[in-house]
A and B are shown apart, each in its own frame.
Chain A
Amino acid sequence: MAEPDHVEPDPQDDHVADPAGNAQGAPAGAGGTQDPPPARDPLDREPVDLAAVLAELLQSGGALLRQLQHAYPGAVRDALADPLATLVSVAAELGVDWQGGVDDVVAYTRSRLSGEFAVDEFGFDPEFTERIVLPALRPLVRSWFRAEISGLENIPDEGPALLVSNHAGTLPLDGLVLHSLLHDEIGRHPRLLGGDLIFATPYAHDVARRIGVTHACPEDALRLLEEGHLVAVFPEGYKGLGKPYSERYRLQRFGRGGFVACAIQARVPIIPVSVVGSEEIYPLIAPLPEVASAVGWPYLPITPLFPWFGLLGLLPLPSRWSIRVGEPIATDELDVRAAADPMTVFEVTDQVRETIQDTLYAMLQERRSPFF
């Protein structure tokens, strides 16, 4: 049997050798040889930041303990009598800005528990998303990741569009950050397309459906676009999430271009989105594909902090995020039949991929440090 490396030239190597990739150092060699780390490797700074993170964490943990000590014992009795209100107030103490006050949120959650809500056919619950999930996410997005977004004028105020983004960070936090920023800035909910693993995992399924994520398949994507939604897709999928830290910001294969076929069929523009900052949150040091496939996962989330520090290791590193929305790539001048023409689909896929990759390299060059 021939070695697969030589039978199938990996398309991604062509792109990595792109001249714009100089910021990341030498292009990846074919055949999987490891490059020496580039001179300004963000990993160099990591121990310093790690210490800062831990210090901050200890500090906030200490503050919480002091508060509990201060409140004991009457408040504890109250807290136990109404765990829901307690949870909401503790979150408020931790910096969650519940719009409309703590009591409102408690009342809303109660009404929700009695079944007073409505979801669409995908299970999306806009009220729950806006009142619970997005406020809870905001401190993470704004204060922890200090995320910024530019190029919003490229997103239509109404009507369908397909956002295509790079995907990284071991856990799909980039989707949540994108959702939070887009909703805050332009008031639209991007409907994310997610992998089947999300929907096979208990609780992840529920949260994902509630915030409007649906399975990344042409049927659902087309339906959402036909209904006029803003749809966001991460064509790299698990390959993007589960790539080792040494390959950060190198785009993986963009699936089989199914998202392009959908956009052509629905005659909606494709808007490239480049996310910088997501790669550093959980640097994947050992994907261990053999072990991962034995447990049925696409990769193992082994980072410098996880699983060694337990749940604490799930705290993402506080990288500074920056998201750039590119100019739309129109598909409406293409014939609808082009959706079935693999050559056109491949060409557009490559165009989108190169746009995002070039933007990523440009953004990395502008960035001073991953964390500051």
Chain B
Amino acid sequence: MSRVVLVTGVSDDFAARCARALASLPATTVIGVDLVPPRRPLDAVTFVRADIRSPVMTGLITGRGVDTVVHLPRRGPGRSRAAAKELAVLGSMQLLAACQRAPGFRSLVLPSSGEVYGSSPRDPAVFAEDRGHDGGPRSPFAQDCLEVESYARALGQRRDDVTVTILRMAPLMGAGVRSDLTRYLTAPVVPTVAGFDARLQFLHPADGARAVTTAVERCRPGIYNVGAPDVVVLSQLLAWLGRPSVPVPRAVARALRRTRSRTGLVVPEDLDGVTWGRVMDVRRIADELGFQTHWSSRQAAEEFVALASPGVLRRVLDGRGAEEGNEDG
């Protein structure tokens, strides 16, 4: 049985990686959609330049016989809040509306974000999928993800022949990953929240892409957390990176985030995620979809560190080590 998969937002590196991974599955045709052409060749993926908010999508999905849609969320850098919401939430609404119209459409895979769980001192240390996420402050991106998830579930209820798989992913980490979090980690000086060493869980993009292909292949409805099972803490990661950190009180960190465009200091949008950190229970996807990550959080972080430019502290320490070595010699 052949399969036609539509992947949105393929100008993004991770989406392109997912699209290429899907195209390597047997008997699978992959169509990549975005407004901007991808930076790197998509190999076997057919690129269609289209806006997911436009009525063209209905024709595209029906005309090409698309049965599976992989809709990736995105947090573009430097976009204004209104524009980001416009693209994320309204774009998703319109795409899902087009899917609902298409008779051949069978499955929606929605890679969402673990940020939807939020993070606070009142939360459990490890989030399971059935954890309610009522109230509580969320980053704007997490709010968008929650909204898109709710539209996806609604689509599943309206079309009971459609399987909706939601993948809540841990932050991507690995060589060359560019995200809000990695920009924060690679700033020359990293402001941290004093007295809070966040527990961080990562997902290597290769594992992320494999999770998406597994979800497409297995076609099981439900919500699944995706991430490596182990944890690294923020101070550890900054030590590996050799980045000097400046502990500031939480209120100051919040103020820095609001004024980050003016101060030049990078504080991630998801400040709670680097204060208390966030760890997800990844047992469900292992049990039900048989998916396990190849990269641990630590390995993903080490790969990222190896290719990141060395921070001031690491250069100083390595330099001192070299000098001592010379003296000994």
Name A's B-contacting residues (CB within 8 A). 113-115, 117-123, 196-206, 209, 214-215, 217, 219-220, 223
Q: Provided the pairs A199-B276, A219-B124, A219-B128 are in contact, do residues A119 and B239 lie with their beta carbons within 8 angstroms?
A: no
Stretch of B48-56, B87-95, B229-237 at the chain-chain interface: B229-237
Q: In the complex, what distance in Å separates the CA atom of A200 from the CA atom of B123? A: 11
Contact for A121 among B122, B240, B276, B279, CB less than 8 A = B279
Q: In the complex, what distance in Å separates the CA atom of A117 from the CA atom of B235? A: 11
Task: Say whether A115 contacts B240, CB under 8 Å.
Answer: yes
Closest to B239 in A: A115
Q: In the complex, what distance in Å separates the CA atom of A204 from the CA atom of B229? A: 25
Contact for B199 among A113, A123, A202, A204, CB less than 8 A = A123
Closest to A217 in B: B124
Q: Is B131 part of the contact surface with A, judged by Cβ < 8 Å?
A: yes
Contacts of A198 in B (CB 8 A): 121
Contacts of B126 in A (CB 8 A): 121-122, 219-220, 223
A to B CB contacts below 8 Å, 15 in the list: A114-B240, A115-B236, A121-B126, A121-B199, A121-B229, A197-B121, A201-B195, A202-B196, A203-B195, A206-B196, A215-B123, A219-B124, A220-B124, A223-B125, A223-B126
Task: Say whether B195 contacts A113, CB under 8 Å.
Answer: no
Contact for B121 among A119, A120, A199, CB less than 8 A = A199
- 1/0 contact string of B140-160 vs chain A (CB within 8 Å): 000000000000000000000
Query: Can you list the 8 inter-chain pairs with the closest CB atoms, starting with the nearest?
Result: A202-B195, A115-B239, A199-B121, A219-B124, A203-B195, A200-B121, A115-B236, A122-B125
Q: In the complex, what distance in Å separates the CA atom of A202 from the CA atom of B253? A: 13
Task: Say whether A121 contacts B121, CB under 8 Å.
Answer: no
Task: Say whether A209 contacts B199, CB under 8 Å.
Answer: yes
Task: Say whether B195 contacts A205, CB under 8 Å.
Answer: yes
Q: What is the CB-to-nearest-CB distance from A161 to chain B, in angstroms, rounded to a whole number? A: 20
Contacts of B201 in A (CB 8 A): 121
Known: A118-B298, A206-B195. 9 other contacts (CB 8 A): A114-B240, A115-B237, A115-B240, A122-B126, A199-B121, A199-B276, A202-B250, A215-B123, A223-B124
Task: Say whether B125 contacts A205, CB under 8 Å.
Answer: no
Q: Is B197 part of the contact surface with A, judged by Cβ < 8 Å?
A: yes
Question: Which size class do B's interface residues fall under?
Answer: 20 to 34
Contact for B233 among A119, A196, A202, A217, CB less than 8 A = A119
Task: Say whether B233 contacts A123, CB under 8 Å.
Answer: yes
Task: Say whether B125 contacts A220, CB under 8 Å.
Answer: yes
Q: Is B59 part of the contact surface with A, judged by Cβ < 8 Å?
A: no
Q: Is B249 part of the contact surface with A, judged by Cβ < 8 Å?
A: yes
Contacts of B307 in A (CB 8 A): none
Q: What is the CB-to-nearest-CB distance from B202 to chain A, in angstroms, rounded to a whole number? A: 13
* Best-buried of B276, B281, B298 by chain A (most CB within 10 Å): B276
Q: Is B194 part of the contact surface with A, judged by Cβ < 8 Å?
A: yes
Contacts of A117 in B (CB 8 A): 236
Beta-carbon contacts under 8 Å, B170-213 to A? 193-197, 199, 201
- 1/0 contact string of B210-244 vs chain A (CB within 8 Å): 00000000000000000001111101111110000
Q: In the complex, what distance in Å separates the CA atom of A123 from the CA atom of B126? A: 11
Contact for B231 among A114, A119, A196, A203, CB less than 8 A = A119
Task: Say whether B196 contacts A205, CB under 8 Å.
Answer: yes
Q: What is the CB-to-nearest-CB distance from B204 to chain A, in angstroms, rounded to a whole number? A: 18
Q: In the complex, what distance in Å separates the CA atom of A177 from the CA atom of B129? A: 36
Q: In the complex, what distance in Å separates the CA atom of A198 from the CA atom of B196? A: 11
Task: Say whether A204 contacts B195, CB under 8 Å.
Answer: yes
Q: Provided the pairs A202-B194, A202-B249 are in contact, do residues A119 and B122 lie with their beta carbons within 8 angstroms?
A: no
Q: What is the CB-to-nearest-CB distance from A265 to chain B, in angstroms, rounded to a whole number? A: 14
Q: In the complex, what distance in Å separates the CA atom of A202 from the CA atom of B248? A: 11
Task: Say whether B231 contacts A215, CB under 8 Å.
Answer: no
Q: In the complex, what distance in Å separates the CA atom of A205 from the CA atom of B232? A: 16
Closest to B130 in A: A219
Task: Say whether B231 contacts A205, CB under 8 Å.
Answer: no
Q: Provided the pairs A115-B236, A115-B237 are in contact, do residues A205 and B131 lie with their beta carbons within 8 angstroms?
A: no
Contacts of A119 in B (CB 8 A): 199, 231-233
Q: In the complex, what distance in Å separates the CA atom of A123 from the CA atom of B233? A: 8
* Best-buried of B122, B131, B233 by chain A (most CB within 10 Å): B233
Q: Provided the pairs A202-B194, A206-B197 are in contact, do residues A115 and B235 lie with their beta carbons within 8 angstroms?
A: yes
Closest to B231 in A: A121
